[in-house]
Amino acid sequence: MHLQFFLLLAAALFCIGVYGLINSRSAVRVLMCIELMLNAVNLNLMAFSNFLDPQEIRGQVFTVFVITIAAAEAAVGLAIVLSIYRNRDTVDMERFNLLKW
Amino acid sequence: MDFASLAAQLNAGAILPEVLVTVTLLGVLTIDLVGGRSTSRWTPYLGIAGLLGALGALYYQWGQANPTAFLGEFNADPLSIVFRGLVVIAAAVTIAMSIRYVEQTGTSLGEFIPILLTATLGGMFLSGADELVSLYVALETLSIASYLLTGYMKGDPRSNEAALKYLLIGAASSAVFLYGASLLYGLSGGETRLAAIGAALSTLTPQTASGAVIALVFVAAGIAFKISAVPFHQWTPDVYEGSPTPITAFLSVGSKAAGFALATRVLVVVFPSVLEQWHFLFAALAVLSMVLGNVVALTQTSMKRLLAYSSIGQAGFVILGLVAGTAEGYASMVFYLIVYLFMNLGAFTAVVLFSLRTGTDQISEYAGLYQKDPLLTLGLSLCLLSLGGIPPMAGFFGKLYLFWAGWQAGLYGLVLLGLVTSVVSIYYYVRVVKMMVVKEPQEMSEAVKNYPPVTWSLPGLRALQVGLVVMVLVTSLGGILSNPLFRLANSSITQTPLFQAVPPSIANSRL
B204 near B211, Cβ under 8 Å? yes
Q: Would you say B447 and B363 are in contact if contact means Cβ atoms under 8 Å apart?
A: no
Above pLDDT 70, what percent of chain B? 98
| Per-residue model confidence as pLDDT tens digits over B411-441 | 999 999 999 999 999 999 999 999 888 777 7
Least confident of B214-223, B255-264, B326-335, B433-442: B433-442
pTM of the shown model: 0.94
Q: Give the chain A residue nearest B162 (alpha carbons).
A: A99
Decide if B131 touches A, using CB distance below 8 A. Answer: no
pLDDT tens digit sequence for B219-257? 999 999 999 998 999 899 999 999 999 999 999 999 999
Closest partner residue to A45 (CB to CB) among B156, B168, B185 is B185
Mean pLDDT of the A92-100 span: 78
Is residue A81 within 8 angstroms of chain B, CB to CB? yes
Residue of A nearest to B306 (CA): A101
| Residue A101 with chain B: CB contacts under 8 Å | 237, 296, 300, 305
Least confident of A55-59, B216-220, B443-447: B443-447
Write down the domain spans for chain B: 290-511
Angle at B70 between CA B66 and CA B71, to 5 degrees: 80
**pLDDT surpasses 70 at B338:** yes
- Determine contact: B158 vs chain A, CB below 8 A: yes
Separation between Cα atoms, residue B432 and residue B436, nearest integer Å: 6
- Residues of chain B contacting residue A37, judged by C-beta atoms under 8 Å apart: 172, 175-176, 179
ipTM of the modeled complex: 0.96
- Give A-chain residues touching B184 at CB under 8 angstroms: none
Q: Which residues of B touch A100 (CB under 8 A)?
A: 238
Q: What is the DSSP string of B245-300?
A: HHHHHHIIIIIHHHHHHHHHHHHHHH-GGGHHHHHHHHHHHHHHHHHHHHHHHTT-
| pLDDT given at position B510 | 38
Separation CA B127–CA B80 (nearest Å): 5
Q: Which residues contact A5 (CB under 8 A, 6 or more apart)?
A: none
The better pLDDT of the pair B155, B290 is held by: B290
Q: What is the DSSP secondary structure assignment for residue B499, as one 8-state letter?
A: G
Residue B1: predicted pLDDT: 64
